[in-house]
Amino acid sequence: MTVTDFITNLPDIPRIITALAEWLACLMCILSARRRINGWRFAAVSAGALAVQSIFMVLTDAFEGIIWNLCMLCAVLLMFCYIRICTDMDRNTAICCCGTAFIASEFAASFEWQLWCYAHDILGLRMMFWSVIVLLLVYVAVFFVVWQLGRNVSAADEDFTVSGKETVMTVVAVLLIFAVSNLGFLPVAVPFAGRDSMEIFNMRTLVDLGGMAILYAYQAQWKSSHIQHELDTIHTILDSQYEQYKQAQRTVDLINYRYHDLKNHIIALRADSNASQRHEYLDKLEHEIRDYEALNKTGNQVLDTLLTSKNLRCMQHKINMTCVIDGKLFDSMDVMDICSIFGNALDNAIECEVKIKDYDKRMIHVDAFSEKRFLIIRVENYYEGEIHFEKGLPVTSKKEKSIHGYGLKSLRYTVHKYKGEVQIDTKDNWFSLRVLIPMEMPEKSVT
């Protein structure tokens, strides 16, 4: 008796059941991700995807060998298209999601069919009613778990982007899992393939279950590594902003000492000189000193130092920076968090203004106030050209993208600590970064 004879002892899985499993696996993946379409459009696309998947699988039921493998590849491509149409996933992320969904569907279909064959032959439950009940129970249980796993992995880091290396590793793993799980269905006897149809199906179900666990564990591991890398980078930026603040504090203190001494010199010069030109020069100098004394007096020492430092940098690059800030609103906020929010926002704005050739257009405006139990921070600046966004944040224009673009991420990370949100708008060449933080702020964090 050949291996083919053994397989006939247990009927093969109906293709419509496999098609339903593939569609459900994709649906669970889509529901746990950020969708591109919603409402009736999503319902229509999903219904169409189910119809196409089912028709294709039923029409290719008679194929075997290499053609059967090609048909399975086409089925996976249909799954990939369904995921790409309905979600905002990039290509690599969609490939990994599709591969995991495919293995999950293989496990669900194999597990359900084994249980139904057992209920049909051993328990004698041969009515169509019982086949539907088994199908519902198994698919609801399996795909609920799949949905939970996908949601937990996606919630770990919504901004995660899969690399090319991780995509290749996932594709290789999916191919190996699929090949090993279907080893027993080869028309020739091979090692480790099982001796009868029940062993072959057991092997298929268990290998798919193990493969699904491996894929989800692998995804969780690489996302955890990505999150740790982002957190390390953000904390580095926080430390850098705080160091800049301390350096700026020393610089501003030194300038204050010099200006205080200079005021005394002016008094002495006025007493000793009667020259009109000297008076004109001293009047101008005294006016500049008064302007400096009135500069960035917000009522918060940290903000005063930080804004003065950034304003001095703006003066070096001929950038007109204006501030209207109630510094007392930040008395309960941690020093490092103030440095992160204002430091990163202003660094981003200054970096943009430096690229503008017309000095008259180099403008930055900062204001902070309370409204309807919210602390509102707004940093606006003029810009030229186009700004491309990815997942709510501007994409850095620098060549080494892997080590840049974390400033606004650090800002958003800090704002989220206070249960706030960051909103960015671009209109009429005016870039507006808006931060909203509930006034009931938590106590100062220990740094």
DSSP per position, 179-199:
HHHTGGGSSS--TTS-SSHHH
Instruction: Give me the mean pLDDT over the 11-36 stretch.
Output: 87
Two structure tokens written together for 119: 């209920």
Name the pTM for this structure.
0.59
Q: Tens of pLDDT along 133-181?
A: 888 898 999 889 888 887 776 644 455 567 788 888 888 988 888 888 7
Question: Residue for token digits 């350096």?
Answer: 247
* φ and ψ of 410, to 5 deg: -65, -40
Mean pLDDT in residue range 70-90: 90
pLDDT of residue 130: 74
Does residue 272 register a pLDDT over 70? no
CA dihedral (206, 208, 211, 216) positive or negative: negative
Residue-level length of the chain = 447
The per-residue b/e assignment along 109-148, b for 16 or more CB within 10 angstroms, e otherwise, is bbbbbbebbebbeeeeeeeeeebeebbeebbeebbeebbe
Mean pLDDT across 94-117: 87
Is residue 89 predicted with pLDDT exceeding 90?
A: no
* pLDDT at residue 188 tops 70: no
For residue 76, pLDDT over 70 is answered with yes
Q: pLDDT-based confidence at 240, cuts 50/70/90?
A: low
Q: What's the confidence (pLDDT) of residue 446?
A: 41
pLDDT band at 277 (very low <50, low <70, confident <90, very high): low
